[in-house]
């Protein structure tokens, strides 16, 4: 069942999935890489402070042997010796401790970054289940970790054995020389062995870091169904969103038809487009579009305009340009001011002629820049 589920996880993880995993403390980590950096930093700090560390070590050694008869019978010798030895030990190991601490803090930045998760600190009783623990040990990941540990042991052990075998003659020769020279040679060999150990561990850590990154990405992969479910949770159900858009459109259309009787003129195509304009020179800087529609909605706008005796002017280019450039309850663009002004002037003249019983004026034929027609040039 687990293998079948693993085969279905073919999709790359989403940002939400990775963020949730990070909040749970699930980030790629390589203990080998962190151990290698800490080892190299500690050995490098100790070797860099070699002469100074040697002098501190000598002082610690002398504190247990070098004292006079008066100090011996004074009574405070043990406390004085222990305090002095502690200070020397602190000075001896402070550079190493500082270097290893910085390495331990900096190692996570190379893979996954710093991550603090309170959830990772919560006790998990299921971890105490022996059956589940045995299952983890016998899982593919447990087998991989066991194989890595064995290979690492063999690799590092073989390398250190080769180093000691190569230096065996020099080590045997130290017994025939001076004590100081023998100690120095032994410490130098120990330093080289530690550096070799750290370098090899760094090599293994780099390989392990790549594997951990790959394994983390593999474990975070998602199924197609999980992606769909997450999309619904994040963006909402598509069916529900479509229903909401439909209701919003119906409400907007209802408000538009309620505002339509306030229009001064309806500019038509004459059959496909209808745009209702309103202008109040005391409250508006420019005419506004209060309703617009195409095909069936345009027919409805023309029908309502006829019921309320709102003038309708046939100006196909202007109607298409207004529909393409201006949203409802927005002012017409400056590029259409002249054309709209011609239509409004015609409406005012038409009303004046009707009030006086005179002949109606000639309808205008406003010119419009073809670039303003957008997708409605034809």
Q: Is the pLDDT of residue 369 over 70?
A: yes
**C-alpha to C-alpha distance for 241 and 176, rounded to whole angstroms:** 89
**C-alpha to C-alpha distance for 337 and 322, rounded to whole angstroms:** 11
What is the residue extent of each domain of the chain? Answer: 27-116+129-219, 256-376
* CATH classification number, 256-376, choose in 3.40.1690.10, 3.30.420.40, 3.90.1200.10, 1.10.10.60: 3.40.1690.10
Model confidence at 118, in pLDDT bands (50, 70, 90)?
Answer: low
CB 313 within 8 A of CB 267: yes
Please name every residue paired with 331 in a beta bridge, in sequence order, or none if there are none.
Answer: 288
Look at the pTM and tell me if it is higher than 0.75.
no
Q: What's the mean pLDDT in 162-187?
A: 69
Could you tell me whether strands 273-278 and 288-294 are parallel, antiparallel, or unpaired per DSSP bridges? Answer: antiparallel
DSSP letters spanning 200-219: HHHHHHHHHHHHHHHHHHHH
Model confidence at 4, in pLDDT bands (50, 70, 90)?
Answer: very low
Select from 207, 209, 201 the least CA-distant residue to 157: 201
Listed ranges 4-13, 47-56, 67-76, 321-330; the one with the highest mean pLDDT: 321-330
Select from 71, 84, 24, 37 the least CA-distant residue to 216: 24
Q: Is the pLDDT of residue 238 over 50?
A: yes
Q: Is 131 exposed, middle or buried (0-12, 13-18, 19+ CB in 10 A)?
A: exposed
- Sign of the C-alpha dihedral, residues 374, 348, 278, 292? negative
pLDDT digits (tens, 9 = 90+) for 353-368: 887 877 878 888 888 8
Q: How many CA atoms lie within 13 A of 206 on its CB side?
A: 5
pLDDT digits (tens, 9 = 90+) for 264-322: 899 998 778 999 999 888 888 889 998 888 888 888 888 888 888 889 989 888 899 99
């Amino acid at each position: 069942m687990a293998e079948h589920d693993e085969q279905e996880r073919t999709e790359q993880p989403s940002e939400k999935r990775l963020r949730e995993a990070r909040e749970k403390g699930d980030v790629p980590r390589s203990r080998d890489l962190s151990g290698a950096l800490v080892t190299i930093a500690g050995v490098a700090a100790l070797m860099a402070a070699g002469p100074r560390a040697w002098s501190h070590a000598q002082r610690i050694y002398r504190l247990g042997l070098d004292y006079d008869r008066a100090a011996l019978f004074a009574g405070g010798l043990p406390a004085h010796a222990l305090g002095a030895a502690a200070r020397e030990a602190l000075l001896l190991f402070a550079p190493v401790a500082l270097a290893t601490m910085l390495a331990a803090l900096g190692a996570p930045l190379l893979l996954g970054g710093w991550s603090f998760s309170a959830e990772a600190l919560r006790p998990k009783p299921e971890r105490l289940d022996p059956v589940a623990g045995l299952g983890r040990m016998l899982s593919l990941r447990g087998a991989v970790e066991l194989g890595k540990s064995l290979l690492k042991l063999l690799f590092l052990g073989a390398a250190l054995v080769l180093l000691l075998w190569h230096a065996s003659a020099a080590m045997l020769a130290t017994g025939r020389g001076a004590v100081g020279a023998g100690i120095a040679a032994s410490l130098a060999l120990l330093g080289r062995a530690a550096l070799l150990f750290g370098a090899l561990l760094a090599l293994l850590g780099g390989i392990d870091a790549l594997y951990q990154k790959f394994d983390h990405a593999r474990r975070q992969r998602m199924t197609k169904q999980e992606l769909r479910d997450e999309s619904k949770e994040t963006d909402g159900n598509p069916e529900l969103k479509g229903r909401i858009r439909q209701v919003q459109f119906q409400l907007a259309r209802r408000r538009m038809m309620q505002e339509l009787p306030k229009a001064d003129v309806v500019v038509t195509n004459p059959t496909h487009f209808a745009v209702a304009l309103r202008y109040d020179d005391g409250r508006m800087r420019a005419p506004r579009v209060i309703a617009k529609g195409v095909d069936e909605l345009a027919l409805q706008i023309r029908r309502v305009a006829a019921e309320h005796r709102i003038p309708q002017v046939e100006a196909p280019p202007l109607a298409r340009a207004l529909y393409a450039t201006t949203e409802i309850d927005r002012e017409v663009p400056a590029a259409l001011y002249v054309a709209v002004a011609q239509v409004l002037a015609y409406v005012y003249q038409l009303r004046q002629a009707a009030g006086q019983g005179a002949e109606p004026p000639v309808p205008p034929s406003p010119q419009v820049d073809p670039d303003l027609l957008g997708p409605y040039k034809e």
